[in-house]
Chains A and B, each alone.
Chain A
């Protein structure tokens, strides 16, 4: 079983602050990493994907990947109350096909207060 670990939170930050969400994974050969946002009662929505070591920026979101440390993070700059949601980290296993499954962490609940 491939493990994907996230701090369950809740993580609470004030509006305008940087929210930092962390994820570690057990499969050293994993190649693809994803962050999903899930609002309460809704389905997950893909917000970031990252495949290479380093940083990837998209608007207020930055994903950071360190394969040597088996660590992926998501930074949300200028956090807004609308960012309040559960954030799921997902990882593809090594050796699988490109149509294979993802492994998900349990999610980190983020609350941004005005």
Chain B
């Protein structure tokens, strides 16, 4: 079955650590997106990519980095520069047709 796989489901980060969240899709979608969700704040866009080897900053890119070396993969690194990383992270993808996103199941990141 086609879909988006995010891993891990839960992730714990120590202060000063970088961590990488995985997002893989087998939907043959061109565009992929990373959102962060905090309680009461809705979804905020971190980064997105419309084509391999290219990506754009979203609204809250500081402290995050991404790469898009393959069409299927769009990993997100939460760096130590991100001071408040505890949140629910959602990866999504989209085709060129006028449809909404397909979301992965999310990664819940907690700072310990």
Beta-carbon contact of A45 and B45 below 8 Å: no
Q: A-B contact count, CB below 8 Å?
A: 56
Contact of A99 among B58, B96, B103 (CB under 8 A): B96
Instruction: Evaluate whether A46 and B41 lie within 8 angstroms (CB atoms) in the complex, with A97-B50, A99-B94, A99-B96 already known.
Output: no
Q: Which residues of A contact B99 (CB under 8 A)?
A: 46, 49
Q: Which residues of B contact A51 (CB under 8 A)?
A: 98
In the complex, whether B104 has a CB less than 8 A from a CB of chain A is yes
In the complex, whether A77 has a CB less than 8 A from a CB of chain B is no
Instruction: Evaluate whether A32 and B98 lie within 8 angstroms (CB atoms) in the complex, with A88-B43, A97-B50 already known.
Output: yes
- Chain B's closest residue to A32 (CB) is B98
Q: Which residues of A contact B30 (CB under 8 A)?
A: 99
Q: Which residues of A contact B101 (CB under 8 A)?
A: 44, 46, 90, 102
Interface residues of B in 55-112 (CB under 8 A from A): 58-59, 90, 94, 96-106
Q: Is chain A's interface secondary structure helix, strand, loop, or mixed overall?
A: loop
In the complex, whether A98 has a CB less than 8 A from a CB of chain B is yes
Docked Cα-Cα span, A1 to B45, in Å, equals 12
Docked Cα-Cα span, A56 to B59, in Å, equals 32
Docked Cα-Cα span, A92 to B99, in Å, equals 10
Q: Which residues of B contact A8 (CB under 8 A)?
A: 40
Contact of A90 among B40, B58, B100 (CB under 8 A): B100
User: B10 to nearest A CB, angstroms?
Assistant: 11
Q: Which of A12-20, A57-65, A103-111 contacts B (4 or more CB under 8 A)?
A: A103-111
Q: Which residues of B contact A25 (CB under 8 A)?
A: none
Beta-carbon contact of A44 and B98 below 8 Å: no
Docked Cα-Cα span, A1 to B59, in Å, equals 9
- Chain B residues with CB under 8 Å of chain A are 30-31, 33, 35, 40-43, 45, 48, 50, 58-59, 90, 94, 96-106
- Chain A residues with CB under 8 Å of chain B are 1, 8, 31-32, 34, 36, 42-46, 49, 51, 88, 90, 92, 97-102, 104-107
